[in-house]
Amino acid sequence: MSRKLLKCPVCGHPVQLNLEEGRPRPPFPFCSERCRLIDLGRWLGERYRVPAVEPDEAAELEDLTDRSGQGEQGSSSPQS
């Protein structure tokens, strides 16, 4: 098997992924426990966020797509 060299997502130092062991070392994909904890702190401090669509926004988007679909059908017919 091979070894891959990746970058730590926190500090950018090289992290070696040893595929011969069958699974990565515990702090992977980080170079150290320190970088792993920094990343955890960023998630807990809400510096990282996963975008979400609120239920009200989803309904508005559905209404807009329904309207635009109907508008396209009506605009394709020739007007006299």
- pLDDT, tens digit, 9 for 90 and up, residues 8-41: 999 999 988 766 666 666 788 899 999 999 999 9
Alpha carbon 78 to its chain centroid, in Å, reads 44
CATH topology of domain 3-68: Erythroid Transcription Factor GATA-1; Chain A (3.30.50)
Is the full-model pTM beyond 0.75? no
Instruction: Tell me how crowded residue 17 is: count the other CB atoms within 10 A of its CB.
Output: 15
- 80 vs 49, higher pLDDT: 49
| Averaged confidence pLDDT in the chain | 76
Distance CA 76, CA 80 (A): 13
Of the ranges 43-47, 54-58, 61-65, 70-74, the best mean pLDDT one: 43-47
Residues of the chain with pLDDT > 70: what percent? 65
